[in-house]
Structure 1
Amino acid sequence: MANLFYSLIDQTREFLHAAETPVPSVGEYLKKELSQHAARWTEDEGTRKLKLAILNSFFNLECCVSGTHSMDLVALAPFGEYTVLPGLDCTFPGGYQGLPDHIVASLPQDVMTFNKPVKTIHWNGSFQEAVSPGETFPVLVECEDGTCFPAHHVVLTVPLGFLKERLDTFFEPPLPTEKAEAIRKVGFGTNNKIFLEFAEPFWEPGCQHIQVVWEDASPLQDAAPAMRDTWFRKLIGFLVLPSFPSAHVLCGFIAGLESEFMETLSDAEVLQALTHVLRRATGNPQLPAPRAVLRSCWHSAPYTRGSYSYVAVGSTGDDIDLLAQPLPVGGEKPQLQILFAGEATHRMFYSTTHGALLSGWREADRLIALRDPQARPPEPRL
């Protein structure tokens, strides 16, 4: 079933330069093809149902990869534009904080200001600063605490989910219609991690992941039972993290509306539900409950409102490029007042950390070229 599913995923990437697609979304294409395959299966009914259940778990996995509630929301035509960066994943010792710490280490002391949530970015203006009499600035960054920072340039890296929520109030004047429409059209969903810590492992030595398959599930059927009773069925399973003498940890992944519902529950409710799942999966009703749970809550976090972007039905890679375009566009006004970076502005590497990093380098290069037109062009980046 894995070979079948991923062969069809490969097919979805072949529509990138097609004049038209048979259906609008990746999900619809996958289900249409799977229906034709299922019609040719000759096994007994139980085996057929199990095959569909396994395929359903791959749909849930793909929702986590794409950061979406359903693959029906992901546009088919541009799906092949996303590029997987070669090489192994890199885990930073001590967490992601190691990356910005390394970057900041090269900066002079006391040039960073933290804990200043921004209320509004005023642009295309003429603002003054008391310490710079006679100088005017086209941009004024107004913070929620009333503090203001005049600037010649602002590089904006906030998540797309935040932009979607604050679109009508975050910019003054409002964004051009085309850019605002691109922000609305590009998809942005939720994918959360749930860590469970056990006093002792119940899994076999050498086990790397535990996949969860619900035998009555099928990607060809739309089921919408009560979220409270079924949210955990969207969980794709668990990665077994490297163990320590005193800690044995599983990391679960869950995407979509079920993931957002999970954020509304208490730690105790999440722990209870997943203990129930693991007891059913192992067939051991006495399986000890995890002794601790830790989870991300990207949707309810006010400055993210989700995890990362995808190209939704009704949008294309052109919308990502439009989102990345600096303001103002053309004219005699001071240029590069607002520059846009972040994973959602990289056409090939959206949804990734390397995409976010590369987009920041891209906007830095723009500013360097503006300030010093004679500067040597940067080395080619990925």
Structure 2
Amino acid sequence: MAMQAGLDAHIVIVGCGISGIGAALKLTQHGFKNVKILEASGRSGGRIKSTSFGNGIVEIGANWIHGPSKENPVFRLACEHKLLDDKSMSEENQAVDVGGHPPFVPVFYSSSGKRLGPEIVEPASQLFSSLLKNSQEFFGTEIEPYPSVGEYMKKEIMHHTAQWKDDAETKRLKMAILSTMLKLECSICGSHSMDLVGLGSFGSYQTLPGIDCTFPGGYESLIHAMMKGLPQGIVSYNTPVKCVHWNGSFRPTQPSEPTYPVVVECENGEIVPADHVIVTVSLGYLKQYCQTFLNPPLPLHKAHSIKRMGFGTNNKIFLEFEKPFWDPSCQVISLAWEDESSLYDATPDVKKLWVKKLFGFTVQHSDERLGHVLCGWIAGHESEYMEELSDAEVKESVTEVLRRFIGDSTITPKRVFRSKWHSDLYTKGSYSYLSVGCSISDIDNIGQPLPLPGSNSRPFQVLFAGEATHPSFYSTTHGALLSGWREADRLISYSTPSVPGTGNLNSKL
């Protein structure tokens, strides 16, 4: 018998994050009858993960809707399901373009326990912002004066600061602020150091208008709302995939049954036949298992692009306090280490100095109802080392830092809780970035379906989605969702015959 075709095609989606859920929704709503999601963990959402802490909700994973405006599909879905507050949905909020950086005004403290005034903070932050904007303008120009964003920023900063007329202490504080801002950028990029982020491709990331906003009921409220639209029993949880065998002619059981070009072998021994498989696993997971995850193995250009592309860790450390030591208007507490007179964004001794990679804390909640909670942000190898420590060790180190910078020896958090994305078996980090020697053609390579064009085999056996496959919104939830829709559209276009005289309405991929 022939393999299944059209809306009867058997489609397996590997991973139940927003990309996989988005693909499944689009396919089932289009009328595909045999869609199955295999999820390695016991939950849906992937890197969207909310939990209660204090008396409120905190985000272990994705935090904001970046660019909440009509162009953002995550924002549109959140509005459709009424998951945001009125301010976030307002036209005014959507119209403001913050260029990808939330317009929080940080309160800077130095390691000698001083609060730094605007006369020191503003010149340093304005210089950093203008140079960072300049570093995005090499994309598409074929000009790359330095291989990395870090090298470009450091060289330009040294050039500009050489002309400052400040006294030695003021200059030292300004340099410390610039180092802190480099660490902040590491967290935004998900990179160990900005020396690893490619300069020529840095501007490929596109921002959307709108002031970044959060979900009052947690980001997972969006996942729950989306899951309600899927048929019952579509997801198999706790079912890690061992290998996707493709480009074959598999007959799972009886001779009378159809053959399938793909079978998905699960770690529990289960074999799932498919006409098409959409792989939505993280780039971190692909990096570790790309040699064994597919059989036949990935074509070399895809495997090389997976290796070249950057994928790092950005973790959060949540601290709950009995009462706030910060002002009611405070949104961000930033830390400037005065001994960092030369610019660097990676500590020379990760084990001893890991806590110096913390660029600061955002105020999560600060009221009697939700409690008083700060979130510390830390990226890179320091962040990965932090995952190996006990809660008590993390609490002690971070408490010591806060007491030193705020100049108050009584500061004591009640509780500490942190994310551990690098240790996560099925994620292996946080999100992707374009590293040195990488370009958006690598993103195209990673997202290219198998078999490759020109093959005589049945097309679209294995498709690839996830944030790392979106050429301009990599690292974001909206990039992940759009990539899932893109691969679903690819299968809809392939499987749905054209209506005579109209062409295929779904052919725009």
**Superposed pair shares fold, TM > 0.5:** yes
What is the deviation of 1:293?
1.0
* Aligned partner (choices 388, 392, 398) of residue 268 of structure 1: 392
Q: Give yes or no for contact 1:55–1:218 (8 Å, CA) kept in 2.
A: no
Q: Kindly indicate whether the alpha-carbon contact (under 8 Å) linking 2:365 and 2:374 is maintained by their aligned counterparts in 1.
A: no
- Seen in structure 2, the aligned counterparts of structure 1 residues 150 and 62 have a Cα distance that, compared at 3 Å, is same
Aligned to 2:144, what secondary structure does the other structure show?
coil
Take 1:25 and 1:82, find their aligned partners in 2: how far apart are those partners? 15
Cα drift, residue 159 of structure 1: 0.4
**1:211 has 2:334 as partner:** yes
Aligned residues of 1:59 and 1:219 also touching (Cα < 8 A): no
Instruction: Between 368-377 and 158-167, report the one with greater CA deviation.
Output: 368-377
CA 1:349 to 1:222, structure 2 compared with 1: closer, same or farther past 3 Å?
A: closer
- Contact 2:179–2:345 under 8 Å retained in 1: no
Name the counterpart of 2:234. 111
Match of residue 125 from structure 1 = 248
Task: Please name the residue that 2:448 is paired with.
Answer: 325
**Structure-2 residue corresponding to 1:240:** 363
The answer as to whether partners of 1:326 and 1:338 remain within 8 angstroms in 2 is: yes
Long gaps (5+) in structure 2: 1-123, 499-503
| Rounded Cα–Cα distance in structure 1 between residues aligned with 2:489 and 2:346 | 49
Give the alignment of 1:1-382 within 5 angstroms: 1-130=124-253, 133-220=256-343, 224-245=347-368, 247-287=371-411, 289-330=412-453, 331-374=455-498, 375-377=504-506
Rounded to whole Å, the distance in 1 between the matches of 2:367 and 2:285 is 37
Q: Which moved more, 1:340-349 or 1:8-17?
A: 8-17
For the residues of structure 1 that align with 2:155 and 2:477, how far apart are their CA atoms? 33
> Contact 2:362/2:374 (CA < 8 Å) preserved in 1?
yes
Q: 1 CA distance for matches of 2:231 and 2:125?
A: 51
Q: Which whole-Å CA distance do the structure 2 matches of 1:133 and 1:10 have between them?
A: 62
The verdict on how the C-alpha distance between 1:239 and 1:125 changes in structure 2, with shifts beyond 3 A counting, is same
Q: What is the TM-score of this pair, normalised by structure 1?
A: 0.95
- Deviation larger for 236-245 or 269-278: 236-245
Unaligned runs of 5+ in 1: none
User: Does the CA-based 8 Å contact 1:197-1:249 persist in structure 2?
Assistant: yes
Alpha-carbon distance in 1 for matches of 2:291, 2:346? 35
1:50–1:141 CA distance, 2 compared to 1 (3 A) = same
TM-superposed CA distance for 1:115, in Å, is 1.1
Letter in 2 for 1:264: E
Task: Give the deviation of 1:377 after TM superposition.
Answer: 3.0
**Whole-angstrom CA distance in 1 between matches of 2:237 and 2:325:** 43
2:505 partner letter: R
Q: Tell me the distance in 1 between the aligned counterparts of 2:382 and 2:345.
A: 15
Q: Which one scores higher on RCO, CA 8 angstroms, separation ≥ 6?
A: 2
What amino acid maps onto 1:16 in structure 2? F
CA distance in 1, matches of 2:458, 2:261: 7
Displacement over 6 Å in runs of 4+: none
Q: Percent of aligned pairs with the same residue?
A: 54
Instruction: Identify if the C-alpha distance between structure 1 residues 205 and 224 changes in structure 2 by more than 3 Å, giving closer, same or farther.
Output: closer
CA distance in 2, matches of 1:177, 1:378: 28
State the one-letter code of the partner of 1:237: G
Distance 2:197 2:255 in 1: 49
SS across alignment from 1:274? helix
- The residue identity in structure 1 corresponding to 2:330 is C
Residues 212-254 of structure 1 deviation map (CA, whole Å, 9 limit, x = unaligned): 1111114535875432321111101111113342521001110
1:94 and 1:258, CA in 2 relative to 1: closer, same or farther beyond 3 A? same
Cα distance in 2 for residues equivalent to 1:199 and 1:222: 32
Would the alpha carbon gap of residues 233 and 76 (structure 1) be closer, same or farther in structure 2, given more than 3 Å must change?
same
Tell me if the contact between 1:63 and 1:255 (Cα under 8 Å) persists in the aligned partners. yes
CA-to-aligned-CA distance 1:46-103 (integer Å, 9 cap, x gap):
1111110000000000000100011110011111110012213342344332222222
Distance 1:274 1:263 in 2: 14
Q: How far does residue 169 in structure 1 lie from its aligned partner after superposition?
A: 1.2
Aligned mates of 2:338, 2:484 — CA distance in 1: 45
1:187/1:311 contact within 8 Å kept = yes
Say whether the 8 Å CA contact 1:83–1:349 is kept in structure 2. Answer: yes
The alignment covers a number of residue pairs equal to 379
2:479 is paired with a residue whose SS is helix
